[in-house]
A and B are shown apart, each in its own frame.
Chain A
Amino acid sequence: MSRGLGGSVFDGLKFRKVSSPIHNLDPRMKFVYVIAVFVAAILFSAIIPLAILFVMALPFVLLARVQKQWLRSLRGAAFLALFIFVINVGGSYFTHGFTLLAADWENAAAMTMRFVVLVESFSVFFLTTSPDHLGLALEQSHVPYEFSFAFTTAVRFVPVLAEEAQTIMDAQKARGLELEKGNFMKRIRNYVPVLIPLIVSAIRRSLELAEAMESRAWGATKKRTNLYELKLRKGDYALLAIIIVILALTVYAFLYVHVPTVRSFFGYA
């Protein structure tokens, strides 16, 4: 019987089996989109374009109906975002001779926004792409089969290992093991009776998996075929168009447009 995994920022990465136009897009095209956003985010250092990039993700999130999980992932990233903000402000404070200009605040905000844009676009990608879709994309992208196989197999066994870890903890607790007791060192040592069975079990499992693989003709030919095939469809071409537009605008804006700063609206330099 499978039990749900807990987690905060991980909820932002877990795929949900919902059918939406976004879910049905070719993962390779979605990945190219993420890269495009990535490039744009790197090129711009001002807050207004970065904020625009952030807002651009919203229609995708809503179309895919993954708002709740997406917000959860943002919440998970909030701590790190705050950290980045503080570091930037602090850095400016010291380099500008112990004062802070309006520019410093805006720059720190821009850096933070860049981080958020990167996290959020990856989050949308993982939320709307199933692991088998991803595995398939890897297979078809001429990545060596060993890697995509390792990836999909690992994902397939995550819930199994999680359940096993829980069972092992239960088994040892039933022998009087108290995981929460003791100082820091003792607590680490308390996990030995949990880790060893887990590792031994993982090794045994790998052996059995290898046996099964060999018995199903693993390595028979280098020209491995595939039951499924990813084909680009209308939606993917639409996304491609969007990607091209973004990149074109980015390059144009980067080269020719003077991006106004927020502080200039308030009369700061």
Chain B
Amino acid sequence: MALIEIKGLTYTYPGATQPSISDVSLTVQKGEFVLITGPSGCGKTTLCRTFNGLIPQFYQGELKGEIRVADLDAAKQPTYEMARHVGLVFQNPENQLFALSVEKDVAFGLENLGYSREEMRKRVDWAMDLTGITDLRDRSPHEMSGGQQQRVAIAAVLAMQPEIIVLDEPTSFLDPLSAQKIFDVIHDLNKTLGISVILVEHRLDLTARYADHIIIMDQGKVRLDGDTRAILASDETRLIGVGIPKATLLYELLQNEGANLPETTPLSSEELAKMLQEALKN
């Protein structure tokens, strides 16, 4: 049974004339690392919010179609129930931290769910350890950098031990090195704990390498859905106008001019460099 099963999902915000997503269907298996990308306004942010029920419960509006997440009807199940299974991390780190200390923020969800103090203490320490923020435990949010704040947000979501973590452009406000740290943390959670990850991002040069599964949206619809390498190599992707990693583009250029490199499309500079090293040896 798939972790996320969406069939024909269409959603219109209250007062809007057009739906933000139309007829979206997709499947996510347990343990996958899915990358969702597409030009601004393609509906990826809207789609994220259907995973945990924010749409339609918080935003109201009109939702058609089916969405099952962790075998629950995400549209009908109260958001606080969905929170146990789907963690959502948002774009702006500052607006996800409410408490005056990091620890208390990480515990927030657990407090809401009524966990015992001992259980909370265990989970909070565990989550902070996994995200590398244990030494920040007493800091107040305003004293931290954006990257640190975002790691607190991830820890806060992680503490509830969801099966899926969805991140909506989590590194928009961060510099490349801080962004890299975030992706390393997420990748680690996916590989070692088996938590499914859905990452919405523009910066494919930093993230394409992690995803086995990529979904490209445009104007509210899913245009491409499948293996990352195959899709990033396709012409249609280029036409939609997403930021294909430069290494991949360079590979394409070289292949088109007869370079005869291996068939596997590289997704990062490391992969391409390795490929070229092999080719140069011959």
User: A interface vs B, CB < 8 Å?
Assistant: 2, 130-132, 135, 149, 152-153, 155-156, 159-160, 205, 208-221, 223-229
The segment from B81-89, B201-209, B228-236 found at the interface with A is: B81-89
Of A132, A155, A215, A228, which contacts B52 at CB under 8 A? A215
Q: By the criterion CB–CB under 8 Å, are A156 and B95 in contact?
A: no
Min Cβ gap A229→B in Å is 7
Q: Please, which residue of chain B has its CB at the minimum distance from the CB of A134?
A: B100
Of B90, B100, B117, B160, which contacts A217 at CB under 8 A? B160
A226 to B99, CA, bound (A): 12
Q: Which residues of B contact A215 (CB under 8 A)?
A: 52, 54, 79, 83, 87-88, 90, 157
Are A156 and B98 CB-contacts (below 8 A) given A214-B80, A216-B83, A218-B112?
A: yes
Pick from B52, B97, B115 the residue with the most CB of A within 10 Å: B97
Q: By the criterion CB–CB under 8 Å, are A209 and B111 in contact?
A: no
A227 to B120, CA, bound (A): 7
* Interface secondary structure of B, over-half rule: helix
Task: Kindly state whether residue B121 has any CB partner on chain A within 8 Å.
Answer: yes
A221 to B140, CA, bound (A): 27
Are A221 and B100 CB-contacts (below 8 A) given A211-B54, A215-B54, A215-B88?
A: no
Q: By the criterion CB–CB under 8 Å, are B104 and A132 in contact?
A: yes
**Segment 97-136 of B: residues with Cβ below 8 Å from A:** 97-101, 103-104, 107-117, 120-121, 124
Task: Kindly state whether residue B178 has any CB partner on chain A within 8 Å.
Answer: no
A226 to B116, CA, bound (A): 8
Q: Which residues of B contact A216 (CB under 8 A)?
A: 83, 108-109, 112, 156-157, 160
Q: Which residues of A contact B99 (CB under 8 A)?
A: 132, 152, 156
Min Cβ gap B276→A in Å is 42
A183 to B88, CA, bound (A): 50
Q: By the criterion CB–CB under 8 Å, are B100 and A229 in contact?
A: no
Q: By the criterion CB–CB under 8 Å, are A212 and B120 in contact?
A: no
